Structure 1
Amino acid sequence: MDIITGDIGGTNARLALCRIGANDIEIVTQTTYPSGEYASLEKIVKTFSENLESEPDAACFGLPCPITGGVCNTTNLPWKISQKRLQNTLGGTETHLINDLEALAWGIGGLSQSDFLTLQEGNGDGAGNAMVIAAGTGLGQAGLYWDGDVHLPFATEGGHCDFAPADELQIELLRFAQRKHQHVSWERLVSGPGLATIYDFMLEYRDVPAPDWFEELKEGDDVAEIVSTKAIQEVDDLYTEAVGLFIRLLGTEAGNQALKMKATGGVFIGGGIAPKMLDWIQMPFFMEAFLSKGRMRPLLEQMPVHVITTNNTALLGAAIYQQSI
């Protein structure tokens, strides 16, 4: 069975042809498209499908938005996506839409141990609810309900909940972000654009002139990658401070979500940013922020915490979901 799958993000749309065999799922071919250069997802899907050698049996796309009635408006793209239109684009091929983090959650079961970096072993046996949180262009979150035998993924929009500062520095960050955004969610700070906001805040907070590259930014420049690279290279303390704060906030919100899900079955950190910051995430302040929940610290210490290091998880997850229905 051949399935077109999509992992659609605000920066990139990744499409693949997955072949489901008796015991495994193989990615036959995949292509990455810059999302912002296309007027619609249908145009990307049409381009991808026209280059396939055979007709797919089905299609499933993971989308960065809440989906209702087979329709959604993407949060970080000016697209309105319709299951019916995509199905027509594919000549009537059976097509399904799911949330991108739901697709990521479905894909976890198709990974091997080598696809994870373990930050905390925990003391569970995999039973119990699990969760996934992923920072990229936005901040996605999903849950995996434990039914006694298997994990069943479900979508959430938890990344859009109110940001809650934990100390004086973060209170000032909130005030800074409120000048830019009417509503400051976790996504506004724990994402690629969020890291840019944090760096901009640190420039003001430390009363440091903006560097030339920051003043000369063009639309589409990956500020998060620039800041994180300079921090890794230890260009100066401001980059390091900005990335350190970003990692603490990611750890804090991962801990918040873990408590809400009671994720004794596992906490999984995904997205495009985490694999690029493995050295930072392995530093003590990520797990300390995750665990810093007062009387609930012992519960959090029981939870296995893993970083997903492969970038194909959501593509596989869309295929696993399609196979399951």
Structure 2
Amino acid sequence: MAEITVLVGDIGGTNVRLGIARVRPDAISVQGVKVYDARKYVSPDSVIRHYREAKPEAIVIGVAGPVVENVATLTNLGWTLSAGELSRIFQIPVYLLNDLQACAYGVLVAPSSSLVTLNDAEPKPGNKAVIAAGTGLGEAGMFWDGQQHQPWACEGGHCDFAPRSELDVELYFYLKKKFVHVSWERVLSGPGLVNIYYFLKFEKKMPGSLELDVQTESMDLPAKISAAALANSSPTAVVALELFCKYYAAEASNLALKTMALGGVYIAGGIAPKILPFLKKPSFIAEFTNVGRLSQLLKTIPVYVVVDELIGLVGAAAFVQRKLRKQKPF
């Protein structure tokens, strides 16, 4: 049975994950995974050169940004990747996928052990969707063609933030002073959690023992806020994370409705597994189904948290696996 060795990658706004995938039509194995700080490298090829130990037959990379004609610009990193240029450098075929499209491929082959159920509904034949908050907010769909799901990318995280309450409206106008466009990513991401926290602490004057410097841009601020909320050591952090989860549920339900994701909604990304106690609260599904006349429909859609941090690499390998099954050449 044919096997191909592929360098698989997941390039986000903060980290670069690289690994070697052994792919057969009936099996996927991802090994030798290394994580790099993207900010320490000037270009994607410099990271790949640093990693490469084995000789892969192809490279497949999920990137956090739109991919247009095999060229991608990473929204939160500033890199531009060209499949053609990387192929010229490394002399092997290179494929670029949106990172959430790669994640969707991974979700479709993920074992149940990689999932935590939030809404235990029976999946129906039909579309699926995935949403992932990390350095940014990514979204993708999985179209059911009658035989299998076909992952597709979108940039829904950059659609307009839609307030549902008076407090949300206040947050919107607070953010409007800082940003030209207030998208969902401004509240549903690591930096988005910081935005919510600062709004509560400095605009709403909420008390809290957690002291964060408003001027700092440290990447560990979201982790500090989450940790304080989980430890119940800062009232402001608790409310910030509760609002974050509320917005996660709201935008997940928006995505479910827009894609008619009767097969399920998957919550991926680096943040969700770390805040599971908050996502498991009944308030999450209550907000997810808070869509008025279609609330009953949302109650029938299963919702899962993806806890496998390598799901993007697995998805890049699964993309290759489909090609092998169809006997399509690289």
With normalisation by structure 2, the TM-score equals 0.94
The secondary structure found in structure 2 opposite 1:264 is coil
TM-superposed CA distance for 1:300, in Å, is 0.6
- Tell me by how many angstroms 1:20 deviates: 1.2
Aligned with 2:187 (options 162, 186, 189): 189
Q: What is the distance in 1 between the residues matched to 2:301 and 2:316?
A: 26
Q: Is the 8 Å Cα contact of residues 107 and 316 (structure 1) preserved in structure 2?
A: yes
In structure 2, the partner of 1:94 is 93
Sequence identity of aligned pairs in percent? 38
Counting matched residue pairs gives: 320
Q: How far apart are residue 32 of structure 1 and its match?
A: 0.3
Matched, 1:116 2:123: no
Give the residue type in structure 1 aligned to 2:232: E
- State the SS of the aligned residue for 1:324: helix
- Equivalent in 123, 127, 130 of residue 129 of structure 1: 127
Higher alpha-carbon deviation: 245-254 or 64-73: 64-73
How far apart are 1:122 and its partner, in Å? 1.5
> How far apart in 1 are the matches of 2:209 and 2:180?
27
- Where 1:128 maps in the other structure, the secondary structure is coil
Moved more, 305-314 or 15-24: 15-24
**Pairing partner for 2:16 from 5, 13, 16:** 13
Q: Superposed, which structure 2 residues align to 1:2-81 within 5 Å?
A: 2-21=5-24, 23-49=26-52, 52=53, 54-81=54-81
CA distance in 2, matches of 1:25, 1:137: 28
Per-residue CA deviation, residues 206-234 of structure 1 (Å, 9 max, x unaligned), is 32478784127644432111001001111
Amino acid at match of 2:60: C
Contact persistence 2:209–2:233 (CA under 8 A): no
Report the CA distance between 1:323 and its aligned residue: 2.8
How far apart in 1 are the matches of 2:198 and 2:89? 42
Amino acid at match of 1:179: K
Asked if the contact 1:42/1:85 (under 8 Å) is kept, the reply is: no
1:208–1:300 distance in 2 versus 1, CA, 3 Å: closer
Residue 145 of structure 2 corresponds to which residue in structure 1? 147
Q: Aligned AA for 1:227? A: I
- Among 300, 314, 317, the residue aligned to 1:316: 314
Q: Select the residue among 167, 178, 200 that pairs with 1:180.
A: 178
CA drift at 1:324: 2.1
Report how far residue 86 of structure 1 moved: 1.5
Q: Please tell me the residue identity of whatever aligns with 1:115.
A: S
Please say if 1:300 is aligned against 2:303: no
Which residue, 252, 255, 260 being the options, matches 1:254? 252
CA separation of 1:179/1:209 partners in 2, compared to 1, >3 Å: closer, same or farther? farther
What runs of 5+ residues in structure 2 fail to find an aligned partner? 324-330
Is the Cα contact below 8 Å between 2:13 and 2:76 reproduced in 1? yes
When normalised by structure 1's length, the TM-score is: 0.95
Q: Is the 8 A contact 1:133 1:269 kept in 2?
A: yes
CA–CA distance in 2 between the matches of 1:37 and 1:211?
Answer: 33
Most deviating of 254-263 and 106-115:
106-115
Counterpart of 1:104? Answer: 103
Any stretches of 5+ residues in structure 1 without a counterpart?
A: none
Q: Give the whole-Å Cα distance in 2 for the aligned partners of 1:212 and 1:120.
A: 32
SS of equivalent residue, structure 1 residue 187: helix
What SS does structure 1 have at the residue aligned with 2:81?
A: strand
**Tell me, what secondary structure is at the counterpart of 1:260?**
helix
1:121 Cα shift?
Answer: 1.9
Quote the Cα distance in structure 2 between the aligned partners of 1:210 and 1:304.
36
SS of the residue 2:164 aligns to:
coil
TM-aligned CA deviation for residue 62 of structure 1: 0.3
> What is the rounded CA distance, in whole Å, between the counterparts of 1:22 and 1:182 in structure 2?
47
> For the Cα contact (< 8 Å) 2:25–2:321, is it kept in 1?
no
Give the drift of 1:124. 2.9
Separation (CA, whole Å) in 1 of partners of 2:264 and 2:28: 23
